[in-house]
């Protein structure tokens, strides 16, 4: 006999658990962002030969923008999670300062576009990879304005491609795998992402 149909979680309204878990993801990943920032600083000399290559590290900072929407499946999840993550990073003392919050907002907004294009109804590989790529574009453009206004067009193009490759792979694919691992651990039982079938 077929399973009784499972009711979808009530549309686009944010439940308390959606808000808190998105914020928790933001907070936890914010700590990771902060540690990653320190690490990337320490690694700067390793990329000294060709500074744009440091862009390969970028994906980690954008993971919240992919994981949060995949988990809670609500409009604005990417934005909210990136905002919280960036705020935590800033509060812990990031070298990017409050600017990081602006980054978080724009990266989150760019990721939202990927999910909005599918009216927040599909949360698969395509949306995850697209969200990673789009937020990478936003981040790279901000970097040009803030840090590397003097770079040549060639360097900028290389940098953009490397950032997008990194964010598509690490944030997009990595975010999807992380969400699946979380679901497998049963931690997402309050969410649709866990696959709402009766067991």
Partner 1 sequence: MAGPAAVRLTGWGFRYATRKAWAARDVDLRVGPGERVLLTGASGAGKSTLLRALGGLLPLETGDAEGELTVTGSSGTGIVFQDPDAQLVMSRAGDDVAFGLENTGTPPAQIWPAVDAALAAVGFPYGRDRPTAALSGGQKQRLVLAGALAGGPGLLLLDEPTAQLDPPGGDLVRQAVVSALADRRATLVVVDHDVAAWLPLVDRVVELLPGGGTVEHPPGWRPVPLRLPVRRPARADGPPLVTAVAAGFTHRGSTSPALAPVDVVLPAGRTLAVTGPNGTGKSTLALLLAGLRAPTTGRVVAGPALTAGLRRPDREPARWRAAELVTRIGTVFQDPEHQFLTGRVRDELSLGPLRAGSGDADARRRAEELMDRLGLAALAEANPFTLSGGQQRRLSVATALATRPSVLVLDEPTFGQDRETWAELVALLAEQQDDDRALCLVTHDPVVVAALADDELALGAPVGAR
Partner 2 sequence: MSAPLTLGAARPVRLSAVNPVAQLTAIVVVTVVLLVSGGLVTPLLVLAAELTLLPAAGLTSPADVLRRTWPLLLSAASVAWVNVAFGAGTGGDPWLGGLALAVRVVALALPGLLLAVSTDPVRLADALTVHWRVSTRFAYGALAALRLVPLLAAEFETIRLARRARGVDAGRNPVAAVRLAAGTGFTLLVGAVRRGSRLATAMDARGFGSGLARSNARGSRLRAADAWFVAASVAVCTVALTVGVLTGSWHVVFAG
Q: Choose, by CB under 8 A, the member of 6, 12, 38, 118 that binds partner 2.
A: 38
Alpha-carbon radius of gyration of the chain: 17
Distance CA 69, CA 75 (A): 8
Q: Choose, by CB under 8 A, the member of 6, 38, 91, 177 that binds partner 1.
A: 6
- Are 25 and 70 spatial neighbours (Cβ–Cβ below 8 Å)? no
Distance CA 112, CA 110 (A): 5
Residue 196 interacts with which of partner 2, partner 1, none, CB < 5 to 8 Å by class: partner 1
- Are 176 and 128 spatial neighbours (Cβ–Cβ below 8 Å)? yes
- Are 135 and 159 spatial neighbours (Cβ–Cβ below 8 Å)? no
- Residue 58's CB is within 10 A of a number of other CB atoms, namely 25
Query: Between 107 and 146, how does the x/- string for binding to partner 2 read (CB under 8 A)?
Result: --------------------------------------xx
| CA 124 and chain centroid, separation | 15
| Minimum CB–partner distance for residue 99 and partner 2 (Å) | 5
| Minimum CB–partner distance for residue 20 and partner 1 (Å) | 10
Token pair for residue 98? 């409050």
Binding segment (CB under 8 A) for partner 2, from list 1-9, 97-105, 108-116, 129-137? 97-105
| Minimum CB–partner distance for residue 93 and partner 2 (Å) | 6
- Residue 199's CB is within 10 A of a number of other CB atoms, namely 5
Q: Choose, by CB under 8 A, the member of 45, 149, 154, 186 that binds partner 1.
A: 186
Token pair for residue 85? 């993550």
What does the binding site for partner 2 look like in residue numbers (CB under 8 A)?
14-17, 19-21, 23-28, 31-32, 34, 37-38, 41, 44, 48, 51, 71, 80, 84, 88, 90-99, 101-102, 145-152, 155, 178, 181-182, 185, 187-190
What does the binding site for partner 1 look like in residue numbers (CB under 8 A)?
3-4, 6-10, 181, 184-187, 189, 194, 196-199
């Amino acid at each position: 006999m077929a399973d009784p149909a499972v009711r979808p979680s009530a549309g686009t309204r944010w439940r308390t658990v959606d808000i808190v878990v998105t914020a928790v993801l933001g907070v936890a990943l914010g700590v990771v962002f902060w540690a990653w920032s320190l690490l990337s600083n320490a690694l700067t000399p390793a990329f000294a030969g060709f500074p744009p290559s440091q862009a390969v590290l970028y994906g980690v900072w954008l993971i919240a923008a992919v994981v949060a929407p995949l988990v809670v499946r609500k409009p604005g999840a990417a934005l909210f999670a990136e905002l919280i993550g960036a705020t935590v990073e800033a509060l812990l003392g990031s070298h990017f300062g409050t600017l990081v919050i602006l980054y978080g907002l724009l990266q989150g907004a760019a990721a939202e576009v990927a999910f909005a294009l599918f009216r927040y109804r599909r949360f698969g590989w395509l949306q995850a990879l697209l969200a990673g790529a789009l937020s990478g574009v936003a981040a790279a453009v901000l970097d040009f304005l803030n840090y590397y206004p003097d770079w040549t067009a060639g360097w900028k193009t290389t940098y953009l491609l490397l950032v997008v490759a990194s964010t598509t792979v690490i944030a997009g694919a990595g975010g999807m795998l992380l969400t699946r691992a979380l679901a497998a651990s049963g931690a997402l039982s309050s969410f649709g992402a866990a696959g709402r079938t009766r067991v």
